[in-house]
Amino acid sequence: MTLQNTSDMNLELLKVLTNSVRILTAQQAQKATGEPVIERVKNRLRRLQTKGLLQLSTAWICPPDLGVAPLVSWGSHGPPPSFKELARTAYRRWSAERLPEMIAVATAEARNLYGAVKIRGPRESETAHDVWVAELFLSRYAHHPLYSWLHEDGFGETFPEGNRADAALIGSGKNPKVIAVELLGNYRSGKIEQYHNYCQEHGISYEIW
């Protein structure tokens, strides 16, 4: 997707950051707009910061590497995945080299102006995880033909209280199919098993990336 003018690009960035994800790196902002030159993207982010709509900073991030398919795609009647193997994958993922990245976060003013979902601001301890969630959205689900993406901050009563996922895929129709989407953080096997048990108890299909 390539947007045609400056106002379209600005609006797309602000809509993504107030309705779909909490953080974008400069490279992800480039992906969201289709702008071919990264320096133009960074300058755009700086201008939006000057207008009080974005907050920019630098964070050290393991570059997202999601692969082409979920690590787990589980249905409510299927066997459980290997929690220990997922924990080993998580350890390898989050032990990778961290690199400095420009990151952009919507300000409260931007969320009030453009947010229907009311994405909250990120917590410092969750910055890297939120960057990976943003990559998942942009790479796999921003323009999905069958499902709409719903960030966890907009769940409301979509899921019962408990180990909620990072996002959900919502199908169409009167009784839409709902799939929970979890980005595998630096979790031990017990935490992954707790998440699976929550989904199993409530009959929730899920993907783990």
Residue with tokens 């600005």: 10
Q: What is the mean pLDDT of each run of 10 residues along the chain (209 residues)?
A: 69 96 97 95 97 97 94 92 98 96 97 90 94 97 93 87 90 90 96 96 95
- pLDDT computed for residue 5 by the predictor: 62
Q: What residue has token string 């796999």? A: 140
In the chain, domain spans: 6-208
DSSP 130-191: HHHHHHHIIIIITT-SS-EEEEGGG-TTSS-SSS--SEEEE-SSSS--EEEEE---S--HHH
Question: How is the chain split among helix, strand and coil, in percent rounded to 5?
Answer: 45, 20, 40
At residue 76, the pLDDT reads: 79
What is the reported pLDDT for 3?
52
pTM comes to 0.93
The whole-number pLDDT of residue 6 equals: 64
C-alpha–C-alpha distance, residues 73 and 54, integer Å: 35
